[in-house]
Structure 1
């Protein structure tokens, strides 16, 4: 079995996924799912803002909840928690993160079985992923986007990298972001429409630098304005591709005797 954080303790201020084990008149005892089922306690004053008459009105045995860590005392093996200090957005975000890490743990277990890798090596790998990517799931996300190249700057066995990249690309849909800008393109030549079309084709040359990770689309809004839309794996790549594509279009139309201007936001343009 993979390590399940039996020796780790949460930090004050962390959000933790908990399972309610016992509800009393003065609070609720829970176990922290991500920390080897260590026990924590939610005092009645931390259940909900305002006066609480019956704790069981808000939590029940077996329920999964998200709590904020208030105090940690490893020597007494005691953790104080708050339920009221967690808003809905924080709850949803934490639950999704927890589910993602559960997926990553299962995938790593499969990797270990398929490659015959021992538990100590996999534990070290999880530590590396946490340090380099923030979490194991984030490492899989990077592998889904970039394959084995995601691990080129860290020490990891090639067979592990190959298996992780394969699992990641089979199971994770690469998240794409979309941004847009605007081009004003004009040409007073008799074949001005053809010149503008030729200039817009130059935007496609940008994709050669991104290994098919970037999609570029230009649509007509109304003379002389065109909308240039970029889909890419992340905002940094998208912004860079948008800038390069616009530069290619503008340089091409100028070479053909026309004019071109780029605006990141349409409200910045003067009509």
Structure 2
């Protein structure tokens, strides 16, 4: 939703080029209900013969507000005053905010909820993250954060299901090849008991784990989490510390290979 207010001087804003003239370009400010003028002298620090050599109609740019006149409702901006690395990061952040707001709006409309009211309810979560999209990602990573949102439980459940279908946070994975064997009677039962204990220890630390038989006695183990610190803190320790349990069962256990997936 665009603001009727004016941007502040020195503020970086995202805008779309609407029209280019000999003396400058007119831009639509994306988060404000106003247009801005970009003088040719503010396009680049080097001499510019044609503005279209630097920007084009329809292009989205990051500019710095240099003058605001509320009486005449005019806003002047500069492109050259925004460092290139800042342009990229600000635009990326703006895109993620836009993507996040669009997801919230889509869910609200499907659920017949006022989108602005839902955004307001989600504000305690959004304020703790850089962008709206990052806040939505965090809901998938840690659904318990929804307990801080004042909406009915049924809506929370549907919102989480909606987000899971549309957002795929990066998973961090520890991949290991292990050898598990037993000589003697009851080997299948003991190996199964050992693997179940391995699963339980991973799940107790809120890690996802899959164990796949490669070729006896080798198993592929993938331990994953949306939280890299969980993988770093727990995954490798679980694989190492379970060796004491294998000794207790009389199972032969060995880690053949272990690495983080990129």
Q: Could you state the TM-score of these two structures normalised by the residue count of structure 2?
A: 0.66
What is residue 269 of structure 1 aligned with on the other side? none
Q: 1:159 to 1:78 in 2, by over 3 A?
A: farther
Contact kept? 1:183, 1:262, Cα under 8 Å: yes
Counterpart-to-counterpart distance in 1, 2:67 and 2:213: 57
* CA displacement at 1:152 relative to structure 2: 1.0
Aligned length: 250
Corresponding residue for 2:102? 103
Compute the RMSD of aligned alpha carbons.
4.5
Equivalent-residue separation in structure 2 for 1:177 and 1:134 (angstroms): 20
Question: Is the 1:17–1:94 contact (alpha carbons within 8 Å) kept by the matching residues of 2?
Answer: no
Which consecutive unaligned segments of at least 5 residues does structure 1 have? 267-271
Corresponding residue SS for 1:59:
coil
Contact 2:121-2:149 at 8 Å conserved across structures: no
Report the CA distance shift for 1:78/1:203 in structure 2 as closer, same or farther (over 3 A): same
Q: CA deviation at 1:264?
A: 7.9
Structure 1 counterpart of 2:4: 6
**Distance across 2 between alignment mates of 1:180 and 1:69:** 44
Contact 2:65 2:75 in 1 (8 A): no
Structure 2: distance between partners of 1:109 and 1:29: 34
- Structure 1 position 23 matched with structure 2 position 29: no
Decide whether aligned partners of structure 1 residues 253 and 89 sit closer, same or farther in structure 2, where only a CA change above 3 A counts: farther
Q: CA deviation at 1:259?
A: 8.2
Change (3 A) 1:92 1:18: closer
State how far apart, in whole Å, the 1-side matches of 2:197 and 2:178 are. 15
Given candidates 199, 205, 214, the residue that maps to 1:204 is 199
Aligned pair 1:173/2:167, yes or no? yes
Alignment correspondent of 1:155? 150
* Aligned partner of residue 238 in structure 1, secondary structure: helix
CA distance in 1, matches of 2:178, 2:115: 60
The 1:183–1:253 alpha-carbon spacing in structure 2 relative to 1, beyond 3 Å, is farther
Q: Which of 138, 142, 162 does residue 142 from structure 1 map onto?
A: 138
**2:118 paired with 1:125:** no
1:58 corresponds to which of 50, 54, 58: 54
Give, in whole Å, the separation in 2 of the partners of 1:59 and 1:93: 18
> Does structure 1 residue 47 correspond to structure 2 residue 43?
yes
Structure 1 pair 123/183, CA: closer, same or farther in 2 (3 Å)? closer
